[in-house]
Amino acid sequence: MRRDARRLLEKLSRKELRYREFEDAFPDTELWPIFEVILRDERVVGEGVANLPDKRAVPPPVEDHVPPPPAPTPLFERYNAAQAAPKVPPTAAPAKGVDLREFFSRLGDAD
């Protein structure tokens, strides 16, 4: 533990720190332009989603005094639906074992 942290704890008669989450002042995620670029990138979201019509204009990053952005659009709702879909769990591999090191060593042997 850093000395300044230890001194602070001593002043507070505490033995350990408690961490606090800093909540966002805005209820919604700010739509930074880079977010918009990602949402429209087929290499990230796939062709079907990337080509969806976007009803939301791309605003510049807002400052703290600007009111929060509008509620999530259908674009985000679609992601939420995709999120709810169950993912395919990793498939179980055959049980018979082999030593990894031996395997890689064999692969790496010179010709």
- Report the alpha-carbon distance of residue 65 to residue 69 in Å, rounded: 12
- The CA-atom distances, in angstroms, between 44 and each of 35, 36, 38, 108 are 11, 12, 7, 34
Kindly state the number of chain residues that form the binding site for other proteins, as judged by CB under 8 A.
Answer: 54
- Report the alpha-carbon distance of residue 56 to residue 35 in Å, rounded: 12
Q: Applying CB under 8 A, which of residues 7, 24, 58, 70 lies at the interface with other proteins?
A: 24
52 is a site residue for other proteins (CB under 8 A): no
Q: Applying CB under 8 A, which of residues 8, 10, 38, 68 lies at the interface with other proteins?
A: 38
Three-point CA angle 42, 48, 51, nearest 5° = 70
Q: Applying CB under 8 A, which of residues 47, 58, 67, 73 lies at the interface with other proteins?
A: 47
By CB under 8 A, name the binding residues for other proteins.
1-2, 16-17, 19, 21-24, 29-30, 32, 34-35, 38-39, 41-47, 49, 76, 79-80, 82-84, 87-105, 107-111
